[in-house]
Structure 1
Amino acid sequence: ILNRVKPDNSGAAFLMKHIFGFSNEDFHSCIHRSGLGAKNSNCLNHYLLGLLKSLIRNAQHCHYKKLLLRHCPLPTYEQYSKDDKGSTSEVVEERFSLIEREQVRPQFDPIECDARYQQVVSFIWASTRSIVPSDLLGDSCNWRALRSNISKFVGLRRYESFSLSQCTHGLETSRYSFLSKVRLSDCFCCKVANGVGNCKFAKKGIKISNDVKITLQNHIFQNWIYWFFSSIVVPIISSCFYVTERQS
């Protein structure tokens, strides 16, 4: 989806609805009612609008091939000769594109041009760091937890599943700056959860209770992490690697 939308207001609004389920009508009403831009607004909608435009732009200009060759370098002929017994890792991520095949000598077996488990995790993390704005990744503590969760995800065997709670394990909502925007503001008018966050709160100036705020934060946070894994991590893996379970 990141390659199908433009890094403008319309594209970011479409992506916001896809990730968080925000209503297009509420979103555009919010924009028309306030002239503030994303950078100087306390509105969650406007703030996310700027972050998602950066996300789209970064994804479309990311040098995936350079990152792939840096973190998962192709073996030299000497390395290939010495490592004829194969990998000792239980889960091997094998990659070999038509472009990369030209860089390897003909006597190389494409199946043997594999990447170690740790290299795959390193590449995925480097790619996500290049794509996702830092505000959407949280602070350094959340980075460590998120990378650990990515590592566990990459290590899954066939038929094993990975739950949302495993995706969010160790992550703290308080360490995501964009979630601090979940509060009463001049244009916080999107209905994020059923019966919560309705436009009447902003219009009447009614303060959102702490319980409602926590509910909204958790809802937005879980939607974001689910989308991060399903629409960023998974496509990176599927487009750059052949995932196998070969043991040797």
Structure 2
Amino acid sequence: MTRPGDVAGRDGAAPLPVAVLISGDGSNLQALIDAQQAGELPIDIRVVVSNRGDAFGLTRAERAGIQTRVLSHREFPTRSAYDAALALLLGGFEPGLVVLAGFMRILTPELVASFHGRMLNIHPSLLPRYPGLHTHQRALDAGDTEHGATVHFVTDELDGGPGLLQARVPVLPGDDAERLAARVLAQEHRIYPLAVHWFATGRLCLGADGQAMLDGAPLTAPVQIDAVAPTPADRAG
């Protein structure tokens, strides 16, 4: 199904079918929806799936006319059982790409294998630094002068798949985790649609050897976006 504002995908083909997984607010989902509706992103978000029925991202999807599904992990006895049901649900929408946008679940190898090379995640740190949770506080505790976000392919290793794109932001005097998180999140909204665009237009793929490829060449390190200059609000503290 093509919506107004969709643009052509690979080699002029129909927009790439996408499924998005969320657990919460869904601001990165909103960035993708906005880019799709503006005609800047050649995708068709077919479904948004959440493991939480109260996730605000579901409301964002519904407002955009996108189908939603809730699959609660609490209704399954094991992680494997949940992921098997999730793979079946996603498969019914035939996504060419699965986008994790704040999906707070550790995925089983079986689920990752079901969408090998077709699953992206965004993580709020400059991987390989600070995989897992509480990344902003960890960066502050370490005295880092720079922080950021990374888009990567999903593999069996938690936050360990090949990095594709990074945005860097300064850590400012007086920062706390909340202020730093907001600065990073603004950059996530820039780089996630860009990485999805690369994939949807055929520029980006995961090679047979597990290495990311961009424009036919091995991507040996994530593409870097320079640190963003502090805004007046940042300086004001």
TM-score (norm 1): 0.25
TM-score (norm 2): 0.25
Greater RCO, CA 8 A, separation 6+: 1
In terms of Rg, which structure is larger?
1
Pick the structure with more helix per residue: 1
Pick the structure with more strand per residue: 2
